[in-house]
Amino acid sequence: MRNKKKAIVRVPATSANLGPGFDSVGVALDWSATYTVEITEKTDSSNYDPIQNMVAKSAAAFFRREGISNSIDFAVTYESDIPVGRGLGVSASARAAGIMSANALAGTEKKLVEMLPLAVELEGHADNIVPAMLGGLRVVVSDKDQIHQIGLSIPDDLCLV
């Protein structure tokens, strides 16, 4: 069942709705957040800030989806240089961290692409969360539990401002 008591993941900021790729093109950025997620005996979730809450709820959703437990509590801490409220995918980063941490904590060894349907379900759209989980520049189309995505090369002389 659980192989670890603590997982540490680093997730990038993202930007989406790039040019004509509204709701379908997103890119991982150089900013990032490092999340530490621990299984705890009992956590008072009222002490969570909104980002910690998203991480903990996403980890719990992963455990439920995998049939591991409906009643596991998680303690979450994080350090981030991602500006909040600026459209840089803070919620996608937090939800991706919860899912990836839960995968590590549960020892399920799912591949990142296998976790995308839950990630998109929790985030509500794929254009930010897919690059948060897979990195790079991504073109994404989601259809129910199918997430179709491709990674594109970013030319070395192109930079985002």
Rounded percentage of the chain residues whose pLDDT exceeds 70? 93
Pull the structure tokens for residue 87: 């459209």
Give, as one character, the DSSP assignment of residue 47. G
CA-to-CA dists, residue 161 to 29, 30, 134, 138, angstroms: 11, 12, 21, 18
Residue whose pair of structure tokens reads 């990195």 in the numeric block: 135
pLDDT tens digits, the chain, 161 residues: what are they?
A: 445 689 999 999 999 988 777 889 999 999 999 999 999 876 565 557 899 999 999 999 999 999 998 778 899 999 999 988 878 889 999 999 999 999 999 999 999 999 999 999 999 989 999 999 999 999 999 877 689 999 999 888 888 77
Q: Is the pTM of this model over 0.95?
A: no
What is the C-alpha separation between 56 and 60, in angstroms, rounded? 6
- Report the candidate in 13, 16, 42, 40 with the shortest Cα–Cα distance to residue 28: 13
Do 22 and 125 touch, CB atoms closer than 8 A?
no
Phi-psi region of 107 (alpha: psi -120 to 50; beta: other; left: phi over 0): left
